[in-house]
Amino acid sequence: MDKPRFRLRCSITKLIFFWIAILLTILIFFHRTPSSNPNRRVLPSLPAWENVVVQSAKPLANSTTGQSVLVTGAAGFVGTHVALALKKRGDGVVGIDNFNKYYDPTLKRRRADLLRRNGIFVLEADINDSEKLAKLFRSVKFTHVVHLAAQAGVRYALRNPASYVHSNIAGFVNLLEACKTANPQPSIIWASSSSVYGLNSKVPFSETHRTDQPASLYAATKKAGEEIAHAYNHIYGLSITGLRFFTVYGPWGRPDMMYYSFTRDMLRGKPIVVFEGPGHKSVARDFTYVDDVVKGLLAAVDTAEKSTGSGGKVERPAQLRVFNLGNTSPVPVNEVVGLLERLLGVKAKKVVVPMPRNGDVLFTHANVSLARRELGYVPTTDLKTGLRKFVDWYLDYYSESNWKSAW
Ligand SMILES: NC(=O)c1ccc[n+]([C@@H]2O[C@H](COP(=O)([O-])OP(=O)(O)OC[C@H]3O[C@@H](n4cnc5c(N)ncnc54)[C@H](O)[C@@H]3O)[C@@H](O)[C@H]2O)c1
């Protein structure tokens, strides 16, 4: 063989080795770099979300209950508090949320981050996604489902009525279908609303009062939820507890709610619109601090009986309950504004207008005797104390330079 040809062969071989080495380096690099998916960061070696779900659902060693709970709407205001409280006492917790844009999704992402740091995985999915739900229930035998995912708010129905039907009716039915098929069936604790009392004028609102006069589409979908719950309990033996929340407020709250938007606008020096009823009557709400609601909800979880159906058969009637979770002391909106003025050190620029007929009711007032008797529910936080905690959180949350843009 002549020398130049030999040299050419050598250099081609070197070139091939060189490129193979480069390719191998790239492959090793990508294999070792953690995925940008935040859930993968928790468990880098696990290939699919189902495996992360299984980890998140495992009760901790300190668990007194041994329960695995699915929390829908976990990136929401109440969902985040509930998921953290369950995890804190050792329950396994998995969240599901579609992170919709009804209000600033950044806030939902930040709540989900908080949950992730506490070992709670939030699956990004819609409760209408039957396939995802089926996989979820195949991966974990949930003992309980705490169902909080919903289209909340009353006035938004004027703009987007379909979102209420999608989440509060179709989504609820889809979730109940998954629960009914699961083996064993979980017990369900879900959020109804004080809004079901609608135009009822008897006070304080008791579970025995009429709920057939909704004043908003939101209320109508929550009332429909209660009837749907009755049907699934009757046919499939699902143990279901509905909780009628009364104006829940607190840290990590909902930006569309009055106490939150008043705080934001007052700090910005913007006017706030205060509604009043006929004859200049003040609008009043039974504000309930989120920790009190969480305590009531956990008591509902702990007293929930097991579902009684399996494989389409019901062995015996299953538990079906409805409770008010309120604070039992309605506060006029003007008083809320006064409290916020003192806490924020800002004088509100009030614009008082008659309440439009857009779904809001004049007042809410809970009778909680049933919840006290059956769940040991006793709300302990007055509005002044609760609002101070909210304002502290608000100032802290928005003082971080990164989040200034959200003001
Ligand atoms: N906060 C209150 O004052 C109050 C009062 C009465 C009833 N409730 C009920 O309590 C529950 C929780 O309320 P919140 O204040 O935490 O509201 P929220 O809007 O903060 O939380 C609801 C969460 O559900 C998620 N979600 C909505 N539709 C979904 C879907 N189809 N699939 C998956 N996720 C979905 C949203 O992204 C959101 O994160 C709701 O059912 C609400 O109707 C709340």
Expressed as residue numbers, the domain containing 197 is: 38-249+289-326+364-380
Identify whether 42 is part of a domain.
Answer: yes
Residue 285 in 3-state DSSP?
A: strand
Q: Is-contact 67 306, C-beta < 8 A?
A: no
pLDDT tens-digit map of 233-261: 999 999 999 999 999 999 999 999 999 99
Band the pLDDT of 146: cuts 50, 70, 90: very high
- Establish if 13 belongs to a structural domain: no
At 64 the pLDDT is 87
CATH number of the domain at 208, please.
3.40.50.720
Residue 167 in contact with ligand 1 by CB distance below 6 A: yes
Pocket of ligand 1 contains residue 219 by CB under 6 Å: no
Q: How far is the CA of 34 from the centre of ligand 1 (A)?
A: 32
pTM: 0.89
Query: Which pLDDT does position 42 carry in this prediction?
Result: 42
Kindly list the distances between the CA atom of residue 48 and the CA atoms of 29, 32, 53, 54, 342, in Å, as whole numbers in the listed order. 21, 17, 9, 10, 51
| Rounded distance between C-alpha atoms, residue 71 and residue 54, angstroms | 14
Tell me which of 117-126, 190-199, 242-251, 311-320 is least confident: 311-320
Q: Residue 296: CB within 6 Å of ligand 1?
A: no
For ligand 1, mutation pick of 70, 71, 82, 98 (most atoms within 8 Å of CB): 98
Give the pLDDT of residue 17.
66
Is residue 8 a part of any domain in this protein? no
Domain count, the chain: 1
Cα(58)–Cα(40) distance, integer angstroms: 17
Share of the chain above pLDDT 90, in %: 82
Residue 124, pLDDT above cutoff 90: yes
What's the confidence (pLDDT) of residue 8? 52
What are the DSSP E strand ranges found in 43-194? 68-72, 92-97, 121-124, 144-147, 187-193
pLDDT digits (tens, 9 = 90+) for 284-316: 999 999 999 999 999 999 999 999 999 878 989
pLDDT score, position 299: 98
Q: What is the pLDDT of residue 16?
A: 67
Report if residue 206 sits inside a domain. yes
Which residue out of 82, 241, 245, 288 has the highest number of ligand 1 atoms within 8 Å of its CB and is therefore the one to mutate?
245
Cα 254 to middle of ligand 1, angstroms: 9
pLDDT at 112: 98
pLDDT beyond 80 at 3: no
Average pLDDT, the chain: 91
| Rounded Cα–Cα distance for residues 406 and 107 (Å) | 9
- For residue 279, is it within any domain? no
Residue 61 reports pLDDT greater than 60? yes
* Nearest-atom index, ligand 1, CA of 166: 31
Active site residues: 218
Between 78 and 30, whose confidence is greater? 78
91 backbone φψ class: left, alpha, beta (φ>0; ψ -120 to 50): beta
Looking at ligand 1, which atom is closest to the CA of residue 99?
Answer: 37
pLDDT digits over 259-286, tens only? 999 999 999 999 999 999 999 999 999 9
**145: three-class secondary structure by DSSP:** strand
**Amino acid 48: pLDDT:** 80
Question: Higher confidence at residue 63 or residue 337?
Answer: 337
- Residue 282 counted as domain residue: no
- Residue 122 is assigned to a structural domain of this protein: yes
pLDDT at 191 over 50: yes
56-62 average pLDDT score: 94
* Span from the CA of 76 to the centroid of ligand 1 (angstroms): 6
Domain-embedded: residue 283: no
Is the CB–ligand 1 distance for residue 115 below 6 Å? no
Atom of ligand 1 nearest to the CA of 195: 6
Residues in Cβ contact with 94 at an 8 Å cutoff, skipping those fewer than 6 apart: 53, 56, 57, 68, 69, 70, 71, 120, 121, 122, 123, 136, 140, 142
pLDDT at 405: 45
Q: What is the pLDDT of residues 198-225, one digit of tens each?
A: 999 999 999 999 999 999 999 999 999 9
- Residue 407, pLDDT > 50, answer no
Q: How far is the CA of 289 from the centre of ligand 1 (A)?
A: 16
Reduced to 3 states, what is the DSSP secondary structure of residue 294? helix
Whose C-alpha lies nearest to ligand 1, atom 44? 245
> From the CB of 75, is ligand 1 less than 6 Å away?
yes
- Alpha-carbon span 174 to 181, nearest angstrom: 11
Q: Is the CB of 196 under 6 A from ligand 1?
A: no
Average pLDDT value for residue range 4-19: 61
User: Binning pLDDT at 50, 70 and 90, where does residue 358 land?
Assistant: confident
For the cut 90, the answer to whether the pLDDT of residue 25 exceeds it is no
pLDDT reading at 33 higher than 50: no
Residue 99 CB less than 6 A away from ligand 1 = yes
